[in-house]
Amino acid sequence: MQFIETLEEALGKKAIKKMTDMQAGDVKETSADTSELNRWVKFKPNTSIKEGVKRFVDWYKIYY
């Protein structure tokens, strides 16, 4: 829901949400250890979700 709220804020619109029960294949929570990837590619992202979504929405509005 935090991602949806961030997207709503960036777009300046409320999403139409249809809440349903968990579906087959849905997961409540995920976690990943990206430390090996960070060491391999020597890159660790430092852009927050909020800033990344805002930048994407700004780009999308210009492009489309």
| Tens-place pLDDT, residues 3-55 | 999 999 999 999 999 999 999 999 988 888 989 999 999 998 899 999 999 99
55 occurs within a structural domain: yes
Are 48 and 56 within 8 A, CB to CB? Answer: no
The total number of structural domains in the chain stands at: 1
Q: Tell me the pTM.
A: 0.70
Domain that holds residue 59: 1-11+49-64
What is the mean pLDDT of the segment spanning 52-63? 96
CA distances from 44 to 8, 41, 48, 56 (A): 27, 9, 12, 19
Query: What pLDDT was estimated at residue 2?
Result: 92
Query: What pLDDT was estimated at residue 13?
Result: 96
39 occurs within a structural domain: no
36 occurs within a structural domain: no
